[in-house]
């Protein structure tokens, strides 16, 4: 593409953005460059980085929050009031509101969908503020469950969830620029970068964050700004790191949950979802600098994408670094099995229990269940009725513990 055609390409969406968020007079890029960086949206980045854009479109990041007015089909089910009510009847004991007073959203109430992989929730507006409707659809099981049926209209979405699901959130103005995890969630606000002509390679590079050029710790904190659970330190009551930007130290803006929180098992492993960063920090991988980007791609040009966007498929990912997994101990009993099923057991919940994997990478033995109540890696397969974890542990120990050598050592000739 020539410079001129790129510029023409750029001006179209950029002018839309300028008209919307700045003002018509600030059109010229000099002025834009003299002002603080702002968010421009992924559609602007697309004009020069089409391949990255297409790759990102194939990931869940681009689909987290979807505008129903643009495409009705983003709703994965039917919002049938009778079906919702029927499902709620089955869990009536869990409800904090009498069933006939639960708010079931109608199709025309829903403005955005939240999620499409494990579960879907729905954004509605009440008195000008976005709230999450109290009905959640679990995608694998196809059932409706309640979500804060009694206090849903006291939990403003932008403050509780906004920064992890949308890009360019402004809590003061109560706005966001783009639904979903856009380019600038990981690369920082791009108004300076985007307004420079494409020929200004070095200035361009200097005005945008490239995570692979940051130190590993700070780069991983970008992922940690969302794959985390805790409290904002700079904005009371917010669930996401308000004020944080890629390249900054996350700890200044966010305090993660600690042992004792209901989203962690007693031993500190994750029971709740979006806690991959909390898990990972406890792992040997973190100590060795093996981070999210070592195993995942966020936009991989050209190549096919595997489940959860891992760099390689299944065991190949692990064995690309762990060339030799010695056939001793744990690994000698099973002639098969996949690494992740033992080392990343599904012990956390998004929609239904057991749909999210642990990212501490330690295999959990039956004795862990006995000691701390955490599910183990074994009983997804060893699940015969009444199977006693203590008995499985005993059989395991018998097979994997090396016995002390019998007899006496022969003395060396002197
Ligand atoms: C007018 C065209 C243009 C637009 C619009 C644009 N970029 Fe770029 N971008 C470039 C050019 C040119 C480079 C430098 C390429 C090189 O280093 O060879 C670049 C480099 C980058 C880099 C790598 C920087 C580095 O130091 O390695 C990132 C990341 C990036 N852009 C992200 C974005 C994002 C995010 C947006 C939207 C906010 C965006 N770009 C919008 C043209 C553009
Ligand atoms: C979830 C975080 C995330 C999102 C969203 C994201 N990127 Fe990136 N981007 C990265 C990381 C991390 C790197 C560093 C290289 C790598 O590990 O792939 C990178 C690298 C880049 C680069 C440098 C060249 C390269 O491929 O290494 C460009 C250009 C870029 N991204 C553009 C974009 C654009 C355009 C979008 C939106 C369409 C986008 N990115 C969305 C995380 C993200
Ligand atoms: C602004 C918040 C945010 C940031 C920053 C972010 N993520 Fe995510 N990530 C999400 C959300 C939300 C989802 C779930 C989206 C959905 O289900 O639609 C997700 C999903 C994913 C998935 C599953 C993707 C798929 O397509 O199956 C992976 C893997 C992932 N993120 C890795 C990363 C990595 C690696 C980084 C850092 C380079 C990162 N994320 C940065 C919010 C974020
Ligand atoms: C600290 C960031 C953060 C906050 C705050 C947050 N989420 Fe998320 N959420 C994520 C990430 C990351 C994922 C995907 C990874 C996972 O689930 O393990 C996710 C997943 C989801 C999903 C499932 C997506 C799918 O495709 O199935 C839904 C629905 C959801 N969040 C709704 C909410 C709601 C509603 C709130 C506010 C009450 C909220 N989240 C608060 C980061 C966050
Ligand atoms: C050692 C490799 C490795 C590292 C490091 C790693 N992951 Fe993963 N991740 C995986 C594998 C393997 C899966 C499961 C893929 C599958 O189900 O096929 C996965 C799944 C996920 C999922 C989907 C949720 C689920 O449990 O199915 C998310 C989101 C995710 N990872 C985010 C992250 C983030 C954020 C980081 C950094 C804090 C990270 N991962 C670090 C290997 C890794
Ligand atoms: C990018 C390379 C890389 C990838 C990919 C990778 N690992 Fe690792 N892994 C390492 C390094 C380096 C260490 C630290 C080794 C050490 O401390 O001796 C490690 C440590 C471990 C440990 C702890 C070892 C111990 O002695 O306690 C386990 C378990 C493990 N990895 C499992 C996995 C699994 C399962 C996967 C696939 C999901 C995987 N690894 C993918 C590089 C990798
Ligand atoms: C049946 C469950 C299971 C499977 C499958 C499994 N592991 Fe393990 N692995 C364990 C347990 C348990 C340990 C702890 C050490 C022990 O008891 O021997 C372990 C230990 C490890 C270690 C630590 C160093 C060592 O050798 O003792 C690494 C690295 C590792 N596994 C990698 C892998 C990789 C890579 C795969 C896939 C090729 C894999 N494991 C498959 C259960 C399993
Ligand atoms: C993917 C399914 C699967 C997982 C996960 C798994 N096993 Fe197994 N296990 C089997 C099967 C099938 C056999 C029969 C031997 C074979 O075919 O290799 C077996 C054999 C065994 C045996 C020897 C026979 C017996 O029952 O006494 C023990 C002990 C054992 N497993 C313990 C464990 C422990 C402990 C774990 C968790 C760390 C585990 N297994 C994880 C499927 C699994």
Per-residue pLDDT of 101-159, as tens digits, reads: 999 999 999 999 999 999 999 999 999 999 999 999 999 999 999 999 999 999 999 99
Does the CB atom of residue 330 touch ligand 7 within 6 A? yes
pLDDT for res 151: 97
Q: Say if residue 12's pLDDT is above 70.
A: no
Residue 304 contacts by C-beta under 8 Å, 6 or more apart in sequence? none
Does the CB atom of residue 106 touch ligand 8 within 6 A? no
Is residue 268 a contact partner of residue 281, using CB atoms and an 8 Å limit? no
Does the CB atom of residue 303 touch ligand 2 within 6 A? no
Is residue 246 a contact partner of residue 222, using CB atoms and an 8 Å limit? yes
pLDDT tens-digit readout, 202-222: 999 999 999 999 999 999 999
Task: Tell me how far apart the alpha carbons of residues 218 and 190 are, in angstroms, rounded to a whole number.
Answer: 19
Is residue 240 a contact partner of residue 230, using CB atoms and an 8 Å limit? no
Q: Say if residue 13's pLDDT is above 80.
A: no
Which residue out of 287, 310, 341, 343 has the highest number of ligand 7 atoms within 8 Å of its CB and is therefore the one to mutate? 343
CA-based radius of gyration for the chain: 25
Is residue 239 a contact partner of residue 231, using CB atoms and an 8 Å limit? yes
Residue 318 contacts by C-beta under 8 Å, 6 or more apart in sequence? 339, 340, 343
Per the model's pLDDT, the better-predicted residue between 52 and 414 turns out to be: 52
Residues with CB under 6 A from ligand 5: 220, 223, 227, 276-277, 280, 285, 290-292, 294-296, 307-308, 310, 317, 340, 344, 356-357, 359
Average pLDDT over the chain reads 90
Does the CB atom of residue 50 touch ligand 8 within 6 A? no
Four-point Cα dihedral 359, 361, 364, 369, nearest 10: -30
pLDDT for res 386: 72
Mean pLDDT of 46-62: 96
Which residue out of 64, 291, 308, 314 has the highest number of ligand 5 atoms within 8 Å of its CB and is therefore the one to mutate? 308
> pLDDT grade, residue 28 (50/70/90)?
low
pLDDT for res 327: 75
Sequence spans of domains, the chain: 9-61+181-208, 65-160, 276-400
Mean pLDDT of 72-81: 96
Does the CB atom of residue 45 touch ligand 2 within 6 A? yes
Q: How many CB atoms lie within 10 A of CB 291?
A: 20
> pLDDT grade, residue 302 (50/70/90)?
confident
Atom 41 in ligand 7: residue holding the nearest Cα: 339
> pLDDT grade, residue 312 (50/70/90)?
very high
Eight-state DSSP code of residue 77: S
Which residue out of 220, 310, 345 has the highest number of ligand 5 atoms within 8 Å of its CB and is therefore the one to mutate? 310
Atom of ligand 5 nearest to the CA of 356: 26
The reported pTM is: 0.94
Q: Say if residue 22's pLDDT is above 60.
A: no
Mean pLDDT of 252-267: 96
pLDDT tens-digit readout, 232-253: 999 999 999 999 999 999 999 9
Ramachandran angles phi, psi of 138, nearest 5°: -90, 120
HSE value, Cβ hemisphere, 13 Å, CA-based, for 278 = 27
- Residue pointed to by tokens 């959640």: 136
What's the 340 CA to ligand 8 centre distance in angstroms? 15
pLDDT for res 305: 79
Task: Tell me how far apart the alpha carbons of residues 79 and 77 are, in angstroms, rounded to a whole number.
Answer: 6
């Amino acid at each position: 593409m020539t410079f001129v055609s790129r510029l023409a390409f750029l001006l179209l969406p950029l002018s839309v953005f300028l008209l919307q968020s700045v003002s018509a007079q600030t059109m010229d890029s000099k002025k834009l460059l003299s002002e603080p960086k702002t968010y421009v949206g992924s559609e602007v980045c697309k004009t020069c980085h089409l391949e990255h854009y297409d790759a990102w479109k194939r990931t869940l990041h681009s689909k987290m929050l979807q505008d129903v007015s643009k495409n009705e089909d983003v709703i994965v089910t039917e919002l049938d009031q009778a079906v919702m009510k029927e499902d709620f009847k089955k869990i009536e004991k869990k409800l904090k509101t009498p069933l006939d007073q639960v708010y079931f959203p109608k199709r025309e109430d829903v403005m955005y969908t939240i999620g499409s992989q494990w579960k879907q929730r729905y954004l509605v507006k009440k008195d000008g503020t976005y709230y999450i409707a109290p009905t959640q659809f679990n995608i694998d099981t196809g059932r409706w469950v309640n979500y804060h049926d009694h206090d849903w209209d006291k939990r403003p979405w932008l403050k509780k969830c906004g920064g992890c699901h949308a890009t360019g959130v402004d809590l003061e103005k109560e706005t966001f620029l783009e639904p979903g995890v856009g380019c600038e969630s990981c690369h920082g606000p791009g108004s300076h970068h985007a307004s420079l002509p494409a020929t200004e390679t070095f200035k361009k590079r200097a005005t945008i964050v490239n995570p692979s050029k940051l130190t590993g710790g700070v780069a991983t904190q970008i992922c940690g700004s969302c794959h985390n659970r805790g409290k904002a330190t700079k904005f009371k009551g917010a669930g996401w790191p308000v004020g944080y930007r890629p390249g900054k130290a996350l700890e200044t803006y966010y305090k993660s949950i600690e042992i004792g929180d209901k989203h962690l098992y007693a031993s500190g492993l994750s029971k709740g979802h979006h806690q991959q960063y909390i898990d990972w920090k406890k792992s040997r991988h973190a100590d060795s600098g093996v981070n999210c980007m070592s195993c995942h791609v966020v936009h991989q040009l050209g190549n096919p994408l595997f489940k959860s966007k891992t760099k390689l498929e299944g065991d190949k990912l692990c064995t690309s670094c762990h060339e030799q997994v010695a056939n001793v101990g744990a690994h000698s009993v099973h002639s098969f099995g996949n690494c992740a099923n033992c080392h990343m057991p599904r012990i956390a919940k998004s929609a239904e229990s057991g749909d999210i994997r642990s990212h501490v990478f330690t295999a959990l033995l039956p004795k862990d269940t006995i000691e701390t109540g955490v599910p183990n890696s074994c009983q997804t397969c060893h699940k015969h009725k009444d199977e006693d974890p203590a008995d499985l542990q005993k059989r395991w120990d018998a097979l994997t513990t090396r016995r002390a050598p019998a007899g006496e050592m022969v003395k060396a000739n002197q």
